[in-house]
Structure formats: structure tokens, C-alpha cells
Amino acid sequence: MNGQKWLWVLCCTVFLMSSAPAAHAVVARSACIVCHEALGGSLAKPITDWRDSIHFHNSITCDRCHGGNASVAVGNVLQLSGPQFLAIQSAAMSKANGFVGKVSGQELFKMCAKCHSASVGRYKDSIMGKAYLGKKGGPSCVHCHHAHRNVIPEVPQVCSKCHKDTGGFTRIDPMNVTVAAVARLSKIRIQLAAEKTQGARPALAPRFSGEMSSYKVGLLAFGAIIFLFLLGYVVYVIFEKGDEK
Ligand code: HEC
Ligand code: HEC
Ligand code: HEC
Ligand code: HEC
Ligand code: HEC
């Protein structure tokens, strides 16, 4: 190999090594993380929750959701004077730079819709989406997916906080519960109930209505034979008594 080839190999290796921890590099530079981590407690909790989330792995940093300016120089947070700290904080978290804090309602939908407009569209017109926006107890995106440690929730476990009967919930789209979906759900539930009663019958009992009637016919025939036998016996006894006189 000549010198030029070696240079190429070296460049590629350095490139691969430096691109792998790219997310970590972004994190290290973010003013939001530097300051919130130094403050600790509940202000640092979103960072620990968010690390290892799908958003973290896709370099979706704090400012991509909350806005603000993440490239303000922070320095050593714990050595800043009061006014210095406030100046840096308000520069980072300024409304002028589109900062939003703890969002809810339409503002939350707007935040997620920046990247998930299809998912928000699916949810906002659903029965539960409307119940959320109308403050009637519907779940928010955060309720099911968390704000920072994003998850795809377990169904129906996540539903059972608000619904007693979660039968059939795994067979509908939880983000798009509409009138049509509720109609489909009731059919699914009737089917599930039928399957359950069938499964609960004793193994020897007939399963279908056709067999059920032949079963009844058998019973009737048996009853009839007993009846005729008894009738014959009564007639016999009467004749016997007649003979004795
Ligand atoms: C110099 C320190 C500092 C920097 C830099 C900083 N923050 Fe904060 N942040 C704070 C403090 C202190 C609070 C709590 C007091 C308050 O809300 O003013 C806070 C509160 C918050 C809240 C909660 C607000 C609410 O409505 O409850 C959010 C969200 C937030 N910061 C996000 C960010 C984001 C995103 C960035 C980066 C763009 C950032 N912060 C940069 C110090 C900082
Ligand atoms: C995917 C979008 C998203 C990202 C990324 C994100 N946040 Fe949040 N954050 C939210 C939402 C939504 C809320 C409101 C949560 C609620 O209603 O309980 C929130 C709430 C907060 C709060 C208020 C206190 C709390 O825990 O509810 C703080 C502080 C905060 N975020 C800081 C941060 C920091 C620091 C980062 C970067 C590590 C970050 N957030 C990244 C969406 C995000
Ligand atoms: C700046 C863009 C951005 C914003 C804002 C954002 N996300 Fe994401 N989100 C992504 C990316 C990128 C992924 C990973 C790729 C994918 O699956 O789409 C992702 C993945 C997800 C996933 C996992 C999807 C899966 O298939 O596993 C959930 C759940 C999610 N986001 C919820 C939210 C919620 C809730 C909000 C609002 C509070 C939000 N996101 C805001 C970019 C964003
Ligand atoms: C009642 C719980 C629930 C609520 C509320 C909810 N989701 Fe979901 N979401 C789920 C479940 C379960 C899945 C996975 C199954 C699926 O895709 O149907 C999912 C899937 C997703 C995905 C993965 C891609 C996709 O569309 O399938 C994203 C992104 C997402 N949700 C974002 C959101 C956002 C943003 C909101 C608020 C506007 C929201 N979700 C509200 C339960 C919920
Ligand atoms: C925070 C509480 C909450 C959670 C969690 C929740 N729901 Fe709901 N759900 C509601 C409310 C409120 C309504 C609206 C009731 C109404 O308007 O009649 C509703 C309505 C429904 C309906 C239509 C009415 C019915 O009961 O048949 C279905 C179906 C439904 N939710 C399914 C789900 C599924 C699936 C999940 C889990 C993935 C879930 N819900 C999680 C609160 C919740």
C-alpha cells in the first residue's frame, strides 16, 4: 500500500469513530443540559429520563422540543453570580427564541406535531383526543408516551388506569378511537364473549344448536320409554287386582 491509501484508511477510521458518539457531542455542548445537570434535583430529572430514549438516539435534544437557545456559553454554573446566572438563563430560555416550558393542550400537540404531524392528526379528532382538549379526562400524549423517557406503552395496561373493561382494546387503534372504532369494538367484544362461553362448556356437551336438538330428541325418547313402561305397569297392576276379586 502506498502512503495515500494509508491516509484514506486513517481518515475513514477517524470519521467512523467520531460519528458514532455524535449524540454525546451534541449533548455535551447543550447549554440546557450543562445548566440543568449542574442544578440537579427535579431540574435534572428530565435529562436522566431522556438519556437512552429514542429521541436521544436520534439527536432530538431539549431545544428541539422546548425551543430556546441551546448554544449560549454557560461556563461553570456553580461559580456564576446571581445576575450572571439569570442573564444566561433568560438568554437560553427566552420567549424571543421560541422557548416553551411545561406545555399542555393545543401547545403540546403543536410541539409534537413539529415532527409527528401524522400521529397528532390521528389523535386530535379521536374521542379521547377531544376529551383531552376539552379537559374531560382524556389522556395526553405524555400520559401514554411520557415526556422524556419516551415509550410505546403496553396495551391494555396503560388503559386500565381509566377503563375498567379493557376487553378487545388490543385489537383497536388506541390513537384513533372514533365512533366507527367503538362500533367495531362492541362487535369484537360480543365475539370474545361468545368464544369464552363456548370454551367454558364441559367437553362432552354438544357444541352446536343442531347437535343440541338431537340431544334433546334423545332425552325425549328416553323419557317416553320410561313413561310407557310405567303406564304398562299401572295397567298390569289394575288387571291383576281385577282378577283377584
Ligand atoms: C443557566 C441555567 C439554565 C439554562 C442555560 C437553561 N435553564 Fe431551563 N431552567 C433553569 C432554572 C433555574 C429553571 C427553574 C426556574 C424557572 O422555571 O425559571 C429552569 C426551568 C426550565 C423548564 C421548566 C419550565 C416550566 O414551565 O416549568 C424547562 C422546560 C427548561 N428549563 C428547559 C430548558 C431548555 C430547553 C434550555 C436550553 C435551551 C434551558 N432550560 C436552559 C435554568 C437553566
Ligand atoms: C420530545 C419532546 C421533549 C424533549 C426532547 C424534552 N422535553 Fe422537557 N418536556 C416536554 C414536555 C411535553 C413537558 C411537559 C411534561 C408534563 O406535562 O408532564 C416537558 C417538561 C419539562 C420540564 C418541567 C418539569 C417536568 O419534569 O415536567 C423540564 C424542567 C424539562 N422538560 C426540561 C427538559 C430538558 C432539560 C430536556 C433535554 C434533556 C428536555 N426537557 C427535553 C417535552 C420534551
Ligand atoms: C424535532 C423532532 C421531534 C419532536 C418535536 C418530537 N419527536 Fe418523537 N421522534 C422523533 C424522531 C426522529 C423519532 C425516531 C424516529 C421515528 O420513529 O420516527 C421519534 C420517535 C418517537 C416515538 C417512538 C416511535 C416508535 O416508533 O418507536 C414516540 C412515541 C415519540 N417520538 C413521541 C413524541 C412525543 C409525544 C412528542 C411531543 C411531546 C415528540 N415525540 C416530539 C422526533 C421528534
Ligand atoms: C391512549 C394512549 C395513547 C395516546 C393518548 C397517544 N398515543 Fe401515540 N401510540 C400509542 C400506542 C399504543 C402506539 C403504538 C401502536 C400504534 O401505533 O397504534 C402509539 C404510537 C405512536 C407513535 C409511533 C408512530 C405511529 O404513529 O404509530 C408516535 C410517534 C406517537 N404514538 C405519538 C403520539 C402523540 C404525538 C400523541 C399526542 C397527540 C399520542 N401519540 C397520543 C398510544 C397513545
Ligand atoms: C387518562 C384516562 C384515560 C386513559 C389512560 C385511556 N382512556 Fe380511553 N377514554 C377516556 C375518556 C375520558 C374517554 C371519553 C369518554 C366519553 O366521552 O364517553 C375515553 C373513551 C374511550 C373509548 C370509547 C368509549 C368506550 O369506553 O368504549 C375507547 C374505546 C377507549 N377510550 C379506549 C382506550 C384505550 C385502548 C386506551 C389505552 C391504550 C385508553 N382508552 C386509555 C380516558 C382514558
- Walk along the chain (245 residues) and give the pLDDT tens digit of each residue: 455 665 565 544 444 444 444 555 556 679 999 999 999 999 999 999 999 899 999 999 999 999 999 999 998 999 999 999 999 999 999 999 999 999 999 999 999 999 999 999 999 999 999 999 999 999 999 999 999 999 999 999 999 999 999 999 999 999 999 999 999 999 999 999 999 888 766 555 555 544 445 556 667 778 788 888 888 888 788 778 766 54
Q: In whole angstroms, give the CA distance from residue 27 to residue 146.
A: 20
* Same-domain check for residues 35 and 70: yes
How far is residue 105's CA from residue 98's CA, in Å, rounded to a whole number? 17
Residue to substitute in 49, 58, 66 for testing ligand 2 pocket (most ligand atoms within 8 angstroms of CB): 66
Ligand 1: residue whose CA is nearest its atom 23 = 101
Same domain for 3 and 65?
yes
| Closest ligand relative to 117 C-alpha | 4
Residues 166 and 151 in one domain: yes
Q: Which helix (H) or strand (E) holds 173?
A: none
Cβ-contact 98, 110 below 8 angstroms: no
| One domain, residues 44 and 117 | no
Same domain, 129 and 152: yes
Q: How far is the CA of 17 from the centre of ligand 4 (A)?
A: 34
- Cell output for 209: 344448536
**Which of 68, 101, 134 is at the close of a domain?**
101
Q: Which ligand is nearest to the CA of 127?
A: 5
Are residue 129 and residue 173 in the same domain, yes or no?
yes
The whole-model pTM stands at: 0.84
Residues 23 and 81 in one domain: yes
In a shared domain, residues 96 and 137? no
Q: Do 12 and 54 fall within a single domain? A: yes
Distance between CA atoms of residues 173 and 176, nearest Å: 5
Which atom, in ligand 3's list, is nearest to the CA of 103? 38
Distance of CA 110 to the CA centre of its chain: 20
Is the CB of residue 184 below 6 angstroms from any atom belonging to ligand 5?
Answer: no
Question: 93 C-alpha to center of ligand 1: Å?
Answer: 6
* 158 and 239 within one domain: no
Q: Which of 101, 126, 146 is the last residue of a domain?
A: 101
Say how many domains are in the chain. 3
Last residue of a domain, one of 56, 79, 101: 101
Judged by DSSP in three states, 193 sits in helix
* Cα–Cα distance measured from residue 174 to residue 152, given in angstroms and rounded to the nearest whole number: 11
Residues 95 and 72 in one domain: yes
* 6 and 73 part of one domain: yes
Domain that holds residue 234: 207-245
